[in-house]
Structure 1
Amino acid sequence: MSNIKKIIKKILPDKLIYDYRIIQILPQYIRSKHKAAKISIPEFKMMSDEETVDCIINKNMSLSRFGDGEFLWMCGQKLNSFQKYSPELEKRLINTMKSKNEKLLIGFPKGIIDSHKCNLFARMHWTIIRANYFYDIAKFLDESQTYCDASITRPYIDYCDIEFSRHKFENLKRIWDNKNIVIVEGKKTKLGIGNDLFDNALSIKRIICPAENAFESLEKIEESIKKNVSKDTLMLAALGPTATILASDMCDNGYQMVDIGHIDVEYMWYLHRAILREPIEGKSVNESGNRDCSNVYDNDKIYLNSIICEIN
């Protein structure tokens, strides 16, 4: 079946596939819409994306982001993902969400409570999530706390307005503008390689982690950071739920780390004006349905010279 899907993707225009996927989830959306409309959503206090970046820059704050996947793990669900579920993963995610560290920003997806700026497919997705999981998610949230939007690092594929996305990327680029940064990422992630996303950074170093099940190597990753990174250096992490936990742990240890998530993939889709969550050459894109990727960047000198440590 997966081979048939790949053949269909090659033959049909992306817009037609996008429309087909809307039709696919339409029955579930219709069942969910009435249920979602009856849910009374508390007025959670949320920062704007600009305020979030201002806090990261001016107050040296860290950021842990919780997407729908993290919340499902916290509810004990097992996902078909690059990270396997474990009770310890669930526990650590819940503890991170409950963190009272004043230097740590916590993000959850604004789309759960307000998706009006999203495209049709994304609005339908968030309606389904809200209808089926809102009360499970809400039990982890605190109405007295101010949150930021976890989707701050996902400013393209769920939206319709190119100018909106351009502004959001420019806002994010302020975080590493003229700074020395250390990127903590999976082996197949390669943030900024093949694009200009981090060209405004002063320098880039990398700690390379396992592409899958990085949570099992959390202690090794933290030891490597403490050994190789000074506390006045900004770190960006792209490691799925491990980054969520890692940003909190390192913040507790006096470091600044921003869970930057899918920013590079989103930027590549933005540059390509992609309609679908398409594969990207040389980079692993779990959401494309194909975790394999070419080795086009494996011998890139800029990439190799930036690596200070690789954790197996």
Structure 2
Amino acid sequence: MDTSLTQLKLAALPMYSELQRLIWDKMYDMPESLKVIKDNKLSVSRFGDGENTLIATPYFNTPFQKNSANLSKELKDILINPNHNLIVGQPSPILNESHIRLWSNSFIQLKPLLEKNAHSRFVSTHLSRPLFFKKYDRTAVEMYRELWRGLDITVVTGKGSRFDLIPDMFNTIKSVKYVYTKAVDAYDDIDDLRERLKKDSSDLIILSLGPTATVLASDLSKMGKWAIDLGHVASAYYNVFEGGKMPEQAPIIEGSSKTAIY
């Protein structure tokens, strides 16, 4: 092993010990996560690298969402005090250079927020990442198929988005309708989305809209709706089963050269 990488991992151990206490000791494993979500109809707000860094760094912008004081505050509020119909997703424990650097960018600012929320459980954001499909193969696909079997769903995503209702995963749904908004800087339209989705009567709302989805899942759960932020689950499926690009390497919009972080 590279000496510098070994040193980086050793230096990260105290931070990872704190993350273990604050997040991972309270995180359901991935199959259990989907069972808990399904059985309790829990809405899900995902906090991946982008969302955590938007909280920690005011001047940070993702490739598809500029930061703002309001966005950062809403993300903080969800992390501190998720409502009883909502569960928060955070990344699974992975000790590699990429994840160490990602956590190093946000942990100091996140720690006091996580301390305030000492009793909440978590699910893994890797439910919609290639790791879930690599680890559990067809079982992961079948769990998703059962999650929305027989349901009327609404998909909320950006215009031209690469989110795809892959038949192998989604042909168990009863019906689908779409609500489209901006693919970039969708948070600018969040008030309009809230108003539009207040009237939605579907069984399940699937969100694929970056940090805006994180906020919307919380808002919709407060309205008594079941909303799951699924992130780049379609790209994750294609990566594992069809040799497609990693989600963060795929364009945000079909035909675009701009790519995402997760």
Q: Is TM-score (shorter-chain normalized) higher than 0.5? A: yes
Amino acid at match of 2:50: G
Q: 2 CA distance for matches of 1:29 and 1:79?
A: 28
1:50 aligns with 2:26: no
1:217 aligns with 2:189: yes
Q: 2 CA distance for matches of 1:163 and 1:137?
A: 28
CA contact (8 A) 2:206 2:230 kept: yes
- Equivalent of 2:100, from 123, 127, 136? 127
Q: Equivalent residues in 2 for 1:46-195 (5 A)?
A: 46-75=27-56, 76-110=58-92, 114-115=93-94, 123-141=96-114, 142-154=117-129, 156=130, 158=131, 162=134, 164-193=136-165, 195=167
Amino acid at match of 2:39: N
| Over 4 Å off, 4+ runs | 26-31, 289-292
Say which SS state the counterpart of residue 219 (structure 1) adopts.
helix
Say which SS state the counterpart of residue 147 (structure 2) adopts.
coil
Q: 1 CA distance for matches of 2:44 and 2:62?
A: 25
TM-score, scaled to structure 1 = 0.71
Q: 2 CA distance for matches of 1:139 and 1:170?
A: 38
RMSD, aligned α-carbons: 2.6
**Structure 1 residues 214 and 179: CA distance shift in structure 2, 3 A:** same
Once the two structures are superposed, what CA deviation does each residue of 1:43-62 show, in whole Å capped at 9, x if it has no partner? 33111222322232222211
- Equivalent of 2:234, from 264, 271, 278? 264
Once the two structures are superposed, what CA deviation does each residue of 1:69-92 show, in whole Å capped at 9, x if it has no partner? 101000124134100111111011
Q: 2 CA distance for matches of 1:195 and 1:27?
A: 46
Structure 2: gaps spanning 5 or more residues? 257-262
Q: 2 CA distance for matches of 1:62 and 1:292?
A: 26
**Structure 1 residues 28 and 81: CA distance shift in structure 2, 3 A:** farther
Say which SS state the counterpart of residue 243 (structure 1) adopts.
helix
Amino acid at match of 1:222: R
Compute the displacement of 1:175 (Å).
Answer: 1.6
- Equivalent of 2:218, from 234, 244, 248? 248
Identity rate of aligned residues, in percent? 26
Compute the displacement of 1:165 (Å).
Answer: 3.7
Q: 1 CA distance for matches of 2:238 and 2:250?
A: 17
Q: 2 CA distance for matches of 1:268 and 1:226?
A: 32
TM-score, scaled to structure 2 = 0.84
Tell me the equivalent position of 2:254: 293
Say which SS state the counterpart of residue 172 (structure 1) adopts.
helix
- Bigger relative contact order, structure 1 or 2 (CA pairs below 8 A, ≥6 apart): 2
Amino acid at match of 1:188: G
Structure 1: gaps spanning 5 or more residues? 1-25, 117-122, 278-284, 296-312
CA contact (8 A) 1:173 1:198 kept: yes
Q: Which moved more, 1:84-93 or 1:70-79?
A: 70-79
**Structure 1 residues 140 and 249: CA distance shift in structure 2, 3 A:** same
Tell me the equivalent position of 1:307: none
CA contact (8 A) 2:43 2:85 kept: yes
Amino acid at match of 1:64: S
Once the two structures are superposed, what CA deviation does each residue of 1:216-270 show, in whole Å capped at 9, x if it has no partner? 000111111123x11x521100000000000000111111100111101111212
Bigger helix share: 2
- Equivalent of 1:200, from 164, 168, 172? 172
Say which SS state the counterpart of residue 179 (structure 2) adopts.
strand
